[in-house]
Structure 1
């Protein structure tokens, strides 16, 4: 009498496909790290949080330094960087230390206004 082989599925191919899909999703996902150059003490707020876009500009201002997308720059360099922005509706994330004198804040906001960059988000502590 001939012996029957047990019924079952070979799961090796299925496991291979699952691992390939997992690796694909891990590699294709993006991880956004918030760029912080300066150690700032932000003022507090009771407003709601803003979604962070992937194509944005981050400006940080302390009493002695200025940061632009993760790099220390001067106001003159910032003016040059803002002039070359073609998309005027691009989101500008502004982080200002609460000890910054108002004349520096006004100078920064004037630069943004002169370059017609009005889509601002001021970052505060929660």
Structure 2
């Protein structure tokens, strides 16, 4: 007779699932979405300027400054002949301060004679740049006028 061997299987506890890798993946996804998302700014963070009634200076109209350069090298600002470069710079500075006070952009119209010396024109452009006037219009150059 054969002897039957009976092996008794060990009792196995309930099978478990190792979720540590799942937790790692979920944290990686969370970090990914946090980094790639854009936050919308709050309304209080937006810079907003409301119109005010206190700005009476903004209703003032300032005409463009007309500068004329003659063939002899004379510079005329607003129909007034400038004696030297110092007077020209002070006149330009006064106009710049006036436009700054009224929150307007200074506008200068320069007309020059074709026979005027280039250096004199460059002196005029340097004086405009020195006082901070950058909006300059060159009108049609006049011939002998």
With the length of structure 1 as denominator, give the TM-score of the two structures: 0.53
CA deviation vs aligned residue, 1:35-81 (integer Å, no higher than 9, x gap): xxxxxxxxxxxxxxxxxx96110000013211010111132211111
SS in 2 for 1:76: helix
Q: Which has the higher strand share?
A: 1
- Segments of 5+ residues of structure 2 without an aligned counterpart are 1-60
Q: Which runs of 5+ in 1 are unaligned?
A: 1-52
> So what's the TM-score if we normalise by structure 2?
0.46
Aligned to 1:94: 110
Larger Rg belongs to = 2
Residue 90 of structure 1 and its aligned partner are, at CA, apart by 1.4
Q: Deviations over 1:8-55 (max 9, x none)?
A: xxxxxxxxxxxxxxxxxxxxxxxxxxxxxxxxxxxxxxxxxxxxx961
The answer to whether the 8 A contact 2:71-2:114 is kept is: no
Q: Distance in 2 between matches of 1:57 and 1:72?
A: 14
Higher normalized contact order (CA 8 Å, seq sep 6+, divided by chain length): 1
Structure number having the greater helix percentage: 2
Partner of 1:111: 127
